[in-house]
Structure 1
Amino acid sequence: MSSTLSAGYYHPSPTAEYTEDSPGGDFDFFSRLVSSWEAAALIPQSPARGIVVRSGVVLGQGGGAISQMIWPFRLGLGGPLGSGLQPFPWIHIRDLAGIICHALESECLQGIFNGVSPSSPATSNGTFAQELASALGRPALLPVPAWAVRAVFGAERAIMLLEGQKVVPKRTLESGYRFIFPDLSGALKDIVA
């Protein structure tokens, strides 16, 4: 059994780094929801092998986070959200699919895997904005105020965008998975090309 959930399981923090073994899942509605989904996916004494991938912001063409962000950037109106200093856990969609396939095909693997790029812990929202603008050949000068993010995305989703987490794919790397897009600039160039 495989399930893909969110890095929102981990408490937002500008400094703490979270691995698959870090505590979380009990500080707000969304984190408790992720915990409930994980409990359903990882049934004790089940004959099925339980695999859960906690994904960061999934970046890909034609949907997801990029589809909501790309037009302001294409128009030269993009910029960091809020302060831009918050961590931005991300993963290319091909790597997320790759991690799931890797875990399912490796019969010895089970449990939790963080589905974020290895360079994700060093990526801030401001860095993401600069890299996206660069991939599009545009500036990233206009920060989006926190109040506007809350108005567009709602209070619960805005917390994930304005606060973020430094998530490390420790078990994912230890399992032998090799990332196709380990760095942000390469991932974004592939997506917006």
Structure 2
Amino acid sequence: MRVLVGGGTGFVGGALTQLLRSRGHEVTHVSRHLGPDRISWDELARSGLPPCDAAVNLAGENVLNPLRRWDDPFRRVVVTSRVATTKTLAKAIAEAERPPHAWVLVTGVGVVLGKGGGAVSQMLWPFRLGLGGPVGSGLQPFPWIHVRDVAGVVCHALETEGVHGVLNGVSPASPSTSNADFARELGSALGRPALLPLPSWAVRGVFGAERAVMLLEGQRVAPKRTLESGYCFVYPDLPSALRDIVS
């Protein structure tokens, strides 16, 4: 297939691009950055959809960027980066003479784990130094997924006839994984203790009260329809996912 990927130069987009190309598909990115096999969002809005069999939108500013204050300008960036790109792509699809037969929008997945990026990249050094531990009480659910499985679910949705609706992007083990479980397993994978909790007040101080809720309360999510659609997870359990990441 010829697959158009919005936000394809990011962490998840890189994994998806690699997987799609390994399976013989052609990939074109819609990106703010110029380069080979890329078009800009302005070009997409101006010239319309290039010939493609499938389209994916992964674009979106990282909500939990610790370097950005949770103020009105950043809130607008978070919303616009998702809504505006989706509207642009949806409009181009609606106006295309030959619209793609598959259209995937990635709007919410678990904490994405993987080498060279994602949530673990910010956690590794404290944990390597023995300074890691649960966030807040540690009892809150910790929905997670390996980046290879995010890419795998999207690829599965593009390639499989009859897959539609919402597919939750979390591992099968997510519903039974707490934040403390994750901290313990990451420490074990690194051969380090993981006993120092990050106090709730510190989380609120860094991320602000609204964003802190995501980390301190969590959300219990299961991939029921994802599994029913026939997708087989590469990393269904946390120990195997973390061993891959820290190896």
| Shorter-normalised TM range | 0.7 to 0.9
**Letter of the 2:166 counterpart:** I
Distance in 2 (alpha carbons) for counterparts of 1:52 and 1:42: 10
Aligned with residue 115 of structure 1, among 169, 184, 207? 169
Structure 2 CA distance for partners of 1:168 and 1:70, relative to 1, 3 Å? same
Q: SS in structure 1 opposite 2:167?
A: strand
Aligned with residue 79 of structure 1, among 108, 133, 137? 133
**Letter of the 2:103 counterpart:** G
Structure 2 CA distance for partners of 1:137 and 1:64, relative to 1, 3 Å? same
The aligned counterpart of 1:129 is 183
Instruction: For residue 67 of structure 1, report the CA deviation from its aligned partner.
Output: 1.1
The aligned counterpart of 1:16 is none
| Residue identity (%) | 64
Q: SS in structure 2 opposite 1:83?
A: coil
The aligned counterpart of 1:165 is 219
Q: SS in structure 1 opposite 2:57?
A: strand
Aligned with residue 150 of structure 1, among 172, 197, 204? 204
Q: Please tell me whether Structure 1 or Structure 2 has the larger radius of gyration of its CA atoms.
A: 2
Distance in 1 (alpha carbons) for counterparts of 2:220 and 2:154: 21
Structure 1 unmatched runs, 5+: 7-28
Distance in 1 (alpha carbons) for counterparts of 2:58 and 2:176: 23
Higher-RCO chain (CA-CA 8 Å, sequence separation at least 6):
1
Distance in 2 (alpha carbons) for counterparts of 1:5 and 1:155: 25
The aligned counterpart of 2:4 is none
Instruction: For residue 39 of structure 1, report the CA deviation from its aligned partner.
Output: 7.8
Instruction: With the length of structure 2 as denominator, give the TM-score of the two structures.
Output: 0.61
**Letter of the 1:100 counterpart:** V
Contact 1:5–1:52, Cα closer than 8 Å, also in 2: no
Instruction: For residue 108 of structure 1, report the CA deviation from its aligned partner.
Output: 1.9
Aligned with residue 103 of structure 2, among 39, 47, 50? 50
Distance in 2 (alpha carbons) for counterparts of 1:91 and 1:139: 23
Instruction: For residue 149 of structure 1, report the CA deviation from its aligned partner.
Output: 1.2
Instruction: With the length of structure 1 as denominator, give the TM-score of the two structures.
Output: 0.77
Distance in 1 (alpha carbons) for counterparts of 2:111 and 2:58: 12
Contact 1:42–1:51, Cα closer than 8 Å, also in 2: no
Aligned residue pairs, count: 168
Distance in 2 (alpha carbons) for counterparts of 1:127 and 1:106: 34
Aligned with residue 62 of structure 1, among 112, 116, 120? 116
Distance in 1 (alpha carbons) for counterparts of 2:209 and 2:56: 29
